[in-house]
Amino acid sequence: MKIAIETERLLLRRLRPEDLDAWYEMDSDAEVHRYLGKSPITDLQQLKDVLANVQQQYIDNGIGRWAMLDKNTNTFLGWAGLKLMKEPTQGHEEYYDLGYRLLRKHWGKGYATEAAKAWVNYGFEEMNLSEICGRADIGNAASRHVLEKAGLEYIDDRDFDGQPHAWYCIQKGKWQNHKKQQA
Ligand SMILES: CC(C)(COP(=O)(O)OP(=O)(O)OC[C@H]1O[C@@H](n2cnc3c(N)ncnc32)[C@H](O)[C@@H]1OP(=O)(O)O)[C@@H](O)C(=O)NCCC(=O)NCCS
C-alpha cells in the first residue's frame, strides 16, 4: 500500500487531524452539501467523529477517502478516494466507491477529475480491483461529469438514501482496453 499518490498538481495522502480546519470550511458549506443530503455539519466534533471513522476504515479495509492537497503549497483542497461500501445495491453485495469533495473556492479547476483518474488507476493497478463504481445525485452534473471523465460508464438510476442517483461502474478489463486505445 502506497503512502501517497502524486499527480501533475496534487498530492493524495491519508486524512489527518491537521486537515480538520480546512475540512470544516468545506463540510459546513451548504452549497457543498447541495447534492449530499443538504445537511452541512455544524460543529467540529462531528468532523472529528468522521475522521475517526475514516481512520478505522484505513485499518479495517486498507483504504478510504484520502486528503487532496496542492502539492506545491500543501494547501488542503478537499478529499477523494475509494471507499469500500458494505451496503448492498442491485448486483453488488459490496463495492469500491469512487468519491470526491472539494472546498467551493477550488471548484472548476479540474482537480476532482485529476484525483478521480489517479484513484481509478490506483484501484486497478495497485489494489488489483476488478471493478470500481460511483454514484451521484441525478442533478449533480459536475460530479457525473467527473465520473465519466474518469472512465466510469453510466449503468442506471437507482435509489440511495431515498434519493435518485445515477450509478456508474467500470471493470478492469474495459478500463485497460480504454487506456490502450488512448495510448
Ligand atoms: C463535484 C465536484 C467534486 C467537482 O469538482 P471540480 O474540481 O470542480 O471538478 P472538475 O473541474 O474536475 O470537473 C467538473 C466538470 O463538470 C463540469 N461542470 C461543472 N458544473 C457543471 C454543471 N452545472 N453542469 C454541467 N457540467 C458541469 C465542468 O465544466 C467540468 O467539466 P470540463 O472539465 O469538461 O469542463 C465539486 O463540485 C464538489 O466538491 N461538489 C460538492 C461535493 C459533491 O457533490 N461531491 C460529489 C458527490 S457524488
pLDDT of residue 127: 96
Output the nine-digit C-alpha cell for 144: 457525473
The domains found in the chain, sorted by start residue, are 4-182 (3.40.630.30)
CA within 13 Å, CB half, 175: 25
Query: Atom 25 in ligand 1: which residue has the minimum CA distance?
Result: 141
User: How many CB atoms within 10 Å of residue 43?
Assistant: 9
Give the atom of ligand 1 at the shortest distance from the alpha carbon of 136.
48
CA 147 to the chain's CA centroid: 10
Q: What is the pTM of this model?
A: 0.96
Evaluated on CA atoms 61, 58, 131, 168, the torsion sign reads positive
- Ligand 1: residues with CB < 6 A are 32, 35-36, 100-102, 107-113, 136, 140-143, 145-146
Give the atom of ligand 1 at the shortest distance from the alpha carbon of 78.
39
Averages of pLDDT over runs of 10 residues in the chain (183 residues) are 91 98 98 94 96 98 97 98 94 96 98 98 97 98 98 96 95 91 79
Q: How far apart are CA 4 and CA 13, in angstroms?
A: 5
pLDDT of residue 171: 98
Give the sheet arrangement for strand 95-102, strand by strand.
Answer: 4-6, 10-14, 65-70, 76-85, 95-102, 131-137, 163-171, 153-160
- Expressed in angstroms and rounded, the spacing between residue 60 Cα and the centre of ligand 1 is 30
